[in-house]
Structure 1
Amino acid sequence: MSSQQLGIWAEDQTEKVLISQGYIVLARNFHSRYGEIDLIAQRDLELVFVEVKARSKTTYASALESISSSKQIKIAKTAMSFLQKFPSYTEFYYRFDVFCFDFHKKIAKPLQHEISDIDYDLEWIENAFTINADLINL
């Protein structure tokens, strides 16, 4: 299984969790010139910009640790682009969440079985990071 296929699977699972919690997914893979946001979801007057990370067993960093400060800034700038494009959401409370899928073992490229059969830890981190909006120059 390629890392792209693993990422799509993780985004699918994240979308299911969000919907089960009463969120409406407004956008998936929203692009701007600054980057991409995996999912944008809404519940009531709450807007959530979601980064999804999936990592197979590694000695380097967990999924959460792989989101650098420069990646956080790109996500924040892309979120501001979304708000500029859709100004009806500017009065919403917004936050940045991260869904981390850490698989317990390395996933072979030619996956012979269903990925959901592989053990993994899922962590949903609400308000995973904050950005001072004054520092974001679009």
Structure 2
Amino acid sequence: MKEQYSKERYNRKQKGATAEEAAVQYLVSRGYSILERNWRCRSGELDIIAENKGILIFVEVRSRSGTLLQGTPEESVNARKIHQVRSTAQVYLHMKGYEERMISFDVITVILNEDLSIASLGHIREAF
């Protein structure tokens, strides 16, 4: 008897973790140091906090799988998300005493195949 797989055989959490791991590997391969992953506070979560050439970089990872009927990963970074990431980054900077650091907000987009392999990965520097 042949095993049947549903279209949604991986859940959102698994897909998100796969995309974030791909983003981390990509950043490390380009000389970035990963300082934090999934940093949380009351105002939200920061996917990746990295450093490169003295700049502190807050990286939002957005992914899609299967068809792009719900839009591209880039399109999912809306005004509400930008506000949430900026607010959470301010909390992080204050808590770490990094108010004077140069910062950047980047977005890494990942499109996943059905088997969770990476179909494409894009890096938008200084996205917002």
Cα distance in 2, alignment partners of residues 14 and 60 from structure 1: 21
Q: Which residue of 1 aligns with 2:88?
A: 78
Q: Which residue of 2 aligns with 1:38?
A: 47
Runs of at least 4 residues off by over 3 Å: none
Counting matched residue pairs gives 118
Cα distance in 2, alignment partners of residues 100 and 44 from structure 1: 22
Describe how 1:61-76 pairs up with structure 2 within 5 A: 61-76=71-86
Describe how 1:81-92 pairs up with structure 2 within 5 A: 81-87=91-97, 89-92=98-101
Describe how 1:1-138 pairs up with structure 2 within 5 A: 1-56=10-65, 57-87=67-97, 89-103=98-112, 107=114, 111=115, 115-116=116-117, 120-129=119-128
Q: Give the secondary structure class of the aligned counterpart of 1:127.
A: coil
Deviation per CA, 1:11-61: give whole Å up to 9, x if none.
111111111111111110011211111000012310100010110122121
Unpaired segments ≥5 residues, structure 1: 130-138
Cα distance in 2, alignment partners of residues 122 and 13 from structure 1: 8
User: Percent same amino acid at aligned positions?
Assistant: 35
Cα distance in 1, alignment partners of residues 52 and 122 from structure 2: 20
Provide TM-score, normalisation by structure 2: 0.85
CA-atom RMSD, angstroms?
1.4
